[in-house]
Amino acid sequence: MLGKGVKRKREEEEEEDLTSQDWWLEETTPSPNPEEGASPAPLPPSSLFNLSIFKLHHGLRRGEPDLRHLVLVVNTLRRIQSSMALESSPPEPPCPAPVDPLPVAPDAPLCTSVSALLDDLSHIEGLCDTQTSFSEDIPLSRPPETGLDPGRPAPLGSLELLLEDGLEGLFDDIDTSMYDCELWPNLKTDSGETEDKIQGQGLDVSELDYLMDVLVGTQTL
Amino acid sequence: MGEDADTRKINHSFLRDHSYVTEADIISTVEFNHTGELLATGDKGGRVVIFQREPESKNEPHSQGEYNVYSTFQSHEPEFDYLKSLEIEEKINKIKWLPQQNAAHSLLSTNDKTIKLWKVTERDKRPEGYNLKDEEGKLKDLSTVTSLQVPVLKPMDLMVEVSPRRIFANGHTYHINSISVNSDCETYMSADDLRINLWHLAITDRSFNIVDIKPANMEDLTEVITASEFHPHHCNLFVYSSSKGSLRLCDMRASALCDKHSKLFEEPEDPSNRSFFSEIISSVSDVKFSHSGRFMLTRDYLTVKVWDLNMETKPIETYQVHDYLRSKLCSLYENDCIFDKFECAWNGSDSVIMTGAYNNFFRMFDRNTKRDVTLEASRESSKPRAILKPRRVCVGGKRRKDDISVDSLDFTKKILHTAWHPAENIIAIAATNNLYIFQDKVNSEMH
């Protein structure tokens, strides 16, 4: 609880953004109090977006995510995304986003990756907790920090890996008879297998056990 | 804030008893019982410490009405959820006292997953003179027993015994954020991020779900429950707050599942203050009914608001706790302080409201005079029995002596948990791992 401060990385940004107004506000309003002592220069939306993605990753990697924190961060992300979508030109060129140092300039590729990220998140949100042991056994092929660098937007793949690794328990239920088991989403493992076959509701425990064994590799299909 | 002379009218007579240092752990909840005789604190290590107010004595006027440690016990232990491979924190999220019905005191304490009912009893006598056992409790040699005696109760040193009477487990998938005892004294509710359950105090193996805001599709999740409380007098009414800043008053008579609210209290967003962080700062971190039951008090990141139960469109009063942070929301988002959950409290007569802030500051607002004051809970700034000095945060412009600049505020020193004695001007302030109890000696009666 103490020492929550994340080291401020914004010095270089502040130098480059000295003239920026509070344009990270959704509506353009004049700076409310010009007399204020050195307020830090506000972050441009793209940096806020990256920061939010970082927080999301960080929150998901925790053992049991704080649901309120996650929901608020996701909602903020959506606000930033829609604001950036409004500001950018309508056509969305495809990914990947260029690897720029802060501040990130192009908004259009970011929009694409944001919507894809949020789509992925909503897939992940439907995970059933019975895949807990499965996730632990899948090694990461890339270091997770790849996606955590706020200097560039998180690419799709690393988000999936991160979510696989640290996701267990996100938005899910205790598996008791009182609660429904959620759908198994499409997941990509490191070996490239797609778990389409796992979709479906009402899987019983023996089927889940078998599937887990398959995924862990002790059985072959 | 008002002139110094005026703000002093509220606080100048506050004396500080002394600070209690709970050495290892951060205090996570503070609660007076219904008479104010007892004060319970819970901490991150799962312990509960109960303080008792000493009866006022004419012999020692300086120690009248002071709080001393009455009992300490381990309420919750860390647990491991094997299904999810997750550790369940033992941190006490909330403590609520039950109304006292006999010589014993009872309280509910909860961590993220499990609620426990504890009974606190006193033993100050013990029987002596058993026929079959000797003083150490060993069986006597019967041949030595020549006459019968009646055991008598003899006084002994006071012993406070605490025992767990009920354990309400497995009722919550998500993290419990609040519990509230009903005025019927038979039921209570517990709320987590998405659901609220109703329990009977005597039944532990089942609870009744009364609110469920979990969407069918989790990808549609945009709002969570942040706090809840039963109405102090109407056992059918309760309120719960959300991360979007709304309050829902529910009537349990209307239907079994109270997903549809009876009243929705929501203030429209102020367009001049819109930002990416509007939703986060509107998230309600605490809701408390007034003692009268006519009003509700809510705390969001920058304000406390008083709501009239008869008006859903907007609060009747809004008080700025630390509006100077409004221009710093970006930094506070970066370091996660914007997610801090502050509590709020009414005084016994519902005329003054109190809430915590940063830098070990806490704020009080007098609803009648509209005066407010900022005070500090720290050993450095006040000695025992000294009068608390009002503090001021300057945001630029003229700076007076002893003012604190916004940029000098210590955001690691946050007062999240505060409590007000139900009848007197005594407040308990938890500042990280320190507990401060302040008394207003001059104006000990409520106005």
What is residue B109's predicted lDDT score, i.e. its pLDDT? 98
ipTM strictly over 0.85? yes
Nearest to A169 among B84, B275, B337 (CB): B84
Spatial CB neighbours of B230, under 8 Å, sequence gap ≥ 6: B180, B181, B182, B183, B188, B189, B237, B238, B289
Nearest to A63 among B87, B276, B396 (CB): B87
Q: How far is B343 from chain A (nearest CA, A)?
A: 16
Nearest to A80 among B44, B84, B276 (CB): B276
Output the pTM of the full model.
0.72
* pLDDT interval class at A21 (50, 70, 90): very low
* Of A141, A174, A171, nearest in space to A60 by CA: A171
The answer to whether B87 contacts chain A (CB < 8 Å) is yes
What residues of chain A lie within 8 A of the CB of B396, using their CB?
33, 35-37
Question: Which of A186-200, B28-42, B400-414 has the highest average model confidence (pLDDT)?
Answer: B28-42
Nearest to B396 among A6, A36, A64 (CB): A36
The two three-digit tokens of residue A19, written as one number:
């003239």
The answer to whether B208 contacts chain A (CB < 8 Å) is no
Question: Which of A184-193, B64-73, B229-238 has the highest average model confidence (pLDDT)?
Answer: B229-238
Out of A59-68, B48-57, B107-116, B400-409, pick the least confident.
Answer: A59-68
CB contact (8 A) between residue B276 and residue A8: no
What is residue B256's predicted lDDT score, i.e. its pLDDT? 82
CB B353 within 8 A of CB B304: yes
Q: Which of residues 422-441 of B touch A (CB under 8 A)?
A: 432
Rounded CA gap, B11 and B34, in Å? 24
Q: Which of residues 382-401 of B touch A (CB under 8 A)?
A: 395-397
Residue A59: closest C-alpha in chain B: B336
CB contact (8 A) between residue B221 and residue A125: yes
What is residue A91's predicted lDDT score, i.e. its pLDDT? 53
* pLDDT interval class at A40 (50, 70, 90): low
Rounded CA gap, B416 and B430, in Å? 7
What residues of chain A lie within 8 A of the CB of B280, using their CB?
72, 76
Out of A131-140, A211-220, B333-342, B387-396, pick the least confident.
Answer: A131-140
Out of A102-116, B31-45, B172-186, pick the least confident.
Answer: A102-116
Q: How far is B171 from chain A (nearest CA, A)?
A: 10
What is residue A135's predicted lDDT score, i.e. its pLDDT? 36
pLDDT reading at A177 higher than 70: no
pLDDT reading at B396 higher than 90: no
Residue B319: half-sphere exposure toward Cβ, Cα within 13 Å = 27
The two three-digit tokens of residue A132, written as one number:
């807990």
What is residue A88's predicted lDDT score, i.e. its pLDDT? 76
In DSSP notation, B91-117 reads ---EEEEPPP-SSSEEEEEE-SS-EEE
Residue B320, number of CB atoms within 10 A of its CB: 15
What is residue A203's predicted lDDT score, i.e. its pLDDT? 56
Mean of all residue pLDDT scores within chain A = 54
CB contact (8 A) between residue A35 and residue B331: no
Q: How many CB pairs under 8 A join A and B?
A: 138
Pairing mode, strands B295-299 and B286-289: antiparallel
Residue B243: closest C-alpha in chain A: A68
Nearest to A169 among B86, B276, B328 (CB): B86
CA distances from B185 to B95, B107, B200, B230, B316 (A): 15, 12, 9, 11, 31
* pLDDT interval class at A161 (50, 70, 90): very low
Residue B113: closest C-alpha in chain A: A174
* pLDDT interval class at B85 (50, 70, 90): confident
Residue A80: closest C-alpha in chain B: B276
Which of B84, B176, B399 best probes binding to A when mutated, by most A CB atoms within 10 angstroms? Answer: B84
Once rounded to an integer, what is the mean pLDDT over residues B372-378?
93
Once rounded to an integer, what is the mean pLDDT over residues B392-418?
89
What is residue B259's predicted lDDT score, i.e. its pLDDT? 80
Residue B411: half-sphere exposure toward Cβ, Cα within 13 Å = 20
Once rounded to an integer, what is the mean pLDDT over residues A47-75?
89
Rounded CA gap, A183 and B123, in Å? 56
